[in-house]
Amino acid sequence: MKYGFIITSGDPVTVADLAREVEEAGWDGAFYWDGICVGAFDTYDPWVVMAAMAMRTSRVRIGAMLTPPARRRPWKLARETTTLDRLSGGRLVLPVGLGATDDGGFSKVGEPTDKKARAEILDESLEILTGLWSGEPFSYEGNYHRVEEMTFLPKPVQTPRIPVWVVGAWPSKKSMNRALRYDGLLAYTTYRTPGHVEPEDVRGMREYVAERRGGKPFDTLETFDIVMEGETPGGDPDRASEMVAPFAEAGITWWMESPWTPPNDPDTLRERIRNGPPRPA
C-alpha cells in the first residue's frame, strides 16, 4: 500500500518545495494536476512544474492527476514524458482519462468535447505513446492520428514502459478493459455522484481485474495498481487511518490524498503533508 499527495495549489517554486516536503514526510508520491485554462485558478504547465518537482526530490513517484490525451498531441506527450522519466531517474507515472471539458483547453479552442470522440482519441493516443516509447520503428494510422514511421530515442528509463494509470469507470466494461491494457486504474464509478467510490466498488474492480489477468489471486498478479482519491484529517491520525482502512482491505494499492477544495492554500497543504500519510497505526 502506497500513499501519494496531490499538490493542488502554489506557484511552481512553491510546488517544488512542497514536493520535497512530501518526500521528507514519508509519502510515496508527489503529484500535481494537468490543466491549461481552468476558471479563475492560477494554472501552470504541469510538465515544467513536474520537472522542478523531480529536481527537488529523489525517491517519490511523480505525476499529474490527470492528463487528458484528447487535448495533447501524443507524439509531443511521448517526448515530454520520456524527458521527465529520464530527468527523474525513472520515477514518472502517467495517469490519464477523458478530462474535464470545463478546462478552456477543450471548450474554448475547438478541441473535441464529445465523450465518444475523446474516448477514441484516448485509445489512439495510448497506442501511439507506447509505440513511440518502445524506441523501435513505429507507424500508426487511426481515425484521429497518423504517424509515419519514426523512431523515438532515447527510450524512457522504465521498462517495458512508463506506468500508465487509466480511469476505470466501474462497472463499465469498456472503461475497465481499457485500464486493463495498461498498468493501473483510477477508481471511479458510473452510478454514484460524482463518481463516488465505496469499498464494495473496489472489491468489484479487484475481482474483475483478477479474472481477466490470468484468473490468479489479485496479490499474485504482476504489478497492477488500483488508485483511490480521498481526503483525510491530518490532525487526527487514528481517524485518518480508519477512513483509508476499508479501501485498503478492499484492494487499493495507492491512496491519493486529494485536497481539491479550500482550504488548500500552500500553508494548509504543508501542514497536512507534514502530518504524514494515513498509514495504519
261-270: list long-range contacts, CB under 8 Å, 24+ apart.
264/8, 264/9, 265/9, 266/9, 266/10, 266/14, 266/18, 269/7, 269/8, 269/9, 269/10, 269/18, 270/18, 270/21
Report, as an integer, the average pLDDT of 105-126.
92
pLDDT of residue 217: 59
Residue-wise pLDDT for 181-223, tens only, equals 999 999 999 999 888 999 999 999 999 999 988 766 555 556 8
What are the cell numbers at 43? Answer: 494554472
| Prediction pTM value | 0.95
pLDDT of residue 123: 97
Query: What does the DSSP assignment read for 7-59?
Result: --SS-HHHHHHHHHHHHHTT-SEEEE---SS-TTS----HHHHHHHHHHH-SS
Model confidence at 110: pLDDT above 60: yes
